[in-house]
Structure 1
């Protein structure tokens, strides 16, 4: 029994070091197109992720999105594994199921699907903390 306990502790230590520990996802994240920024923060019990549309460039096509500025885009996304949050997103007036996956301290992927068939993926990069 003692040997089994040691093996379990050793395996847990190896797994913990194998999983990357990134900086907090809290901060300002910019889409790869550099025309949109989202403010993300940990919320709820500290493991959930919330966010809002924080900034739009002055490009003409962004005028249609002005009503969504400073509005929530994610409320209480639940942790779905290390550096990954899943739940309902509100992007530019569209409700969809989505996932935010932190790939490194400064890179994140946002994936969203509406009606389970129309899916889109965006790369986001840390703009500031």
Structure 2
């Protein structure tokens, strides 16, 4: 059993060592684009200055559906800090306020996750 614990710890330590480090003071503030290129978001710190808010500011022509246009220039993410470079809150998706999270993966990548019941969606944003 001790050997198994040692191997597990060593594997975990190696995984953390291999993961890219991101500074605790890295900032998600700025303009971000979905990797598919269909939408852009302005991310800012809001509320007491630790909360994260994202506003849909641009839609590619083929993404300008009636549903998507309802959210243009509206805040679609509101979240509170839950860990270093991670926020939890609500994500507006298809007319629903869904529980979700935003993680600053690195200086140029944000990952957004949202789940309702057992159905989950996630997408990445790249800094513009």
Instruction: Give the TM-score taking structure 2 as reference length.
Output: 0.76
**Shift in Å, 1:22:** 5.1
Pick from 39, 42, 50 the counterpart of residue 39 of structure 1: 42
Deviation of 1:20 after TM superposition, in Å, equals: 2.7
1:58 to 53, 57, 61: 61
Q: Distance in 1 between matches of 2:59 and 2:46?
A: 24
CA offsets per residue over residues 66-113 of structure 1, 9 Å max, x none?
Answer: 1210111023x1101010000111134221000000011110100011
| Structure 2 unaligned spans of 5+ | 1-20
Shift >2 Å, 4+ stretches: 18-23
Unpaired segments ≥5 residues, structure 1: 1-17
Query: Please, what TM-score do these two structures have when normalized by structure 1?
Result: 0.76
2:32 to 21, 29, 46: 29
1:8-41 per-residue CA deviation (whole Å, 9 max, x = no partner) reads: xxxxxxxxxx763353111111111011111110
Count of aligned pairs between the two proteins: 107
